[in-house]
Structure 1
Amino acid sequence: MSKLAGMEGSASRVLLRAVELDGAARLAEALVCYQEGIQLLLDVLKATTDEAKKEKYRERIGEYMDRAEEIKKHVQLEKEAGKYHEQIHIAAGSVGNSYGRLFKPYIDQTLTEVWVDDPYIRSKHQIMNFLRFCELLVKSDCQVRRIHLTTGEEEGPRQEEQKGRLGGLGESLQQYGISLEVQYSHTLHDREIRFSNGWIIKIGRGLDIFRPTKGQFQIGFCDYDLRECHETTVDIFHNKHLKTSTHGDVSS
């Protein structure tokens, strides 16, 4: 396969994903894929010498750009009206649902602060999930400086393990100019992630959506896009007047 054919194949796959997401009303994700696909197709256009093919590429690019602009305007109007709501159903055993896929469409340069309410950031694998979420924020194109975590508190010897692991994560985040504030609630039940740019993501299972692999040397152990998931529902909202207050029954 030639380099040009490979580039076109990559563009086609991303744009096909954009169309699928568009049809499923997952508009914010579709917009990201349209934008990525259009850029890939522009690269193909630049590398093409055949004028007939160049004209076909221009037509395709124009069509995708028009649709992307329509989605962008629609999402913006829904956000302004406080009516934006998108729901994603993650089927049992499905793959391709890494934190990057779920959260990246809502992370931008205006994001400076994140609130995570999840009663089950307690055991080792749950804290590892939270770590992966923090890593996504660190490497994303945003300006996050504070992450607030409210979670349940372990009991007995495991309590020190929980606090030690979260304390170590907090120290690590400081190296990237990000402070981690952890609070413990005995009454917290709901799972919700709030971004300072107005996006609110509610996941039925919180961050704990991935099934364990059968062993460490199994596909999906490291790459969460290849990890099977538990069944859950993700609801995405946007609210310009974001509520950031902490819970009443909280101990530090």
Structure 2
Amino acid sequence: MSADEKSLLKKAGPILCDAVNDEKAGKLSRALVRYKQGIELIAQAMRKMPIGSEDRNKIMKNFAIYVRKVADLEYRNKTSAEVDQLRITANSIGHSYKEVFTRCCDAQLRMVHVQDAYIVAHHQLVNFVRFCELIVSLSANLLVITLLTGEDARKNQAEFAELTRSLEKRGVTLLVDFSSTIHDREIIFDNGWVVKSGRGLDYFRPPEGKYILGAYDMAQRPCHETTIDFLKRKS
């Protein structure tokens, strides 16, 4: 491990200790800020290490613990004000992820937390990859994507591992957890946006052919009827 990497990790230690103390004292907003500061320093160190190296793998274990802590706090601390609602009618087009989620992506975005019990079928996995592609392309400082999905998705471990390796090459860490109790579908962006959707990412109808409009361009793909709520957390 280089001196630069050690220096970054040394800086992260006291900040994360303060975050733990803030959380114990019930100061959740301040704990979130400090956890994120510590995580960013660890991420900077990890980006300097070869993917798959022993040092990086050891650090990843603690990194994952703190990231999951942030995800949990984000869900517990999401005081929000409704900003907008998108009603997608059956068979309508023009609702690609780019049209829906661009407003949520910017240079301040560091972490995205996806909760969706149904990233199970092949097309649902592909939708999640499309979502990751979009937010990576629109968020220059993105560090982490977390996914909390249902137990049935454990069968997709190889697919999640492949996506994890791909994102690592772009400096983004993917952490996937499984739960038998989650039901709600929502996405929390740590720049303040919260998106709630009855169908999650799975609102596109299957294409009716291989050589038709919408087979690849999701803006041309007909949709199922659904409602998407966009909320902006209060500062």
Q: Pick the TM interval, shorter chain.
A: 0.5 to 0.7
User: 1:145 matched to which residue of 2?
Assistant: 143
Give the structure with higher Rg (CA).
Answer: 1
1:200 aligns with 2:194: yes
User: 1:224 matched to which residue of 2?
Assistant: 218
Listed as ranges, the matches of 1:131-170 within 5 Å are 131-154=129-152, 159-160=154-155, 162-170=156-164
Match 2:228 to one of 204, 229, 234: 234
User: 1:127 matched to which residue of 2?
Assistant: 125
Q: Within 2, Cα distance between the matches of 1:172 and 1:240? A: 34
Listed as ranges, the matches of 1:1-252 within 5 Å are 83-154=81-152, 159-160=154-155, 162-240=156-234
Letter in 1 for 2:133: E
Letter in 2 for 1:229: C
The structure-2 alpha-carbon separation of the partners of 1:82 and 1:200, relative to structure 1 and needing over 3 Å to count, comes to closer
Instruction: State the shift of 1:221 in Å.
Output: 1.0
Aligned residues: 157
User: 1:56 matched to which residue of 2?
Assistant: none
Instruction: State the shift of 1:123 in Å.
Output: 1.1
- Does the residue aligned with 1:233 lie in a helix, a strand or coil? strand
Q: Is the 8 A contact 1:191 1:204 kept in 2?
A: yes
Write the deviation string for residues 177-212 of structure 1: whole angstroms up to 9, x where unpaired: 000000001011000000010100001100000000
Q: Within 2, Cα distance between the matches of 1:142 and 1:84? A: 26
For the aligned residue pairs, the C-alpha RMSD in angstroms reads 1.6
Q: Is the 8 A contact 1:197 1:240 kept in 2?
A: no
Write the deviation string for residues 70-113 of structure 1: whole angstroms up to 9, x where unpaired: xxxxxxxxxxx953431110000000000000000121110010
Q: Return 5+ residue gaps in structure 2 as ranges.
A: 1-78
Q: Within 2, Cα distance between the matches of 1:138 and 1:230? A: 26
Letter in 1 for 2:86: I
Q: Return 5+ residue gaps in structure 1 as ranges.
A: 1-80, 242-252
Letter in 1 for 2:206: P
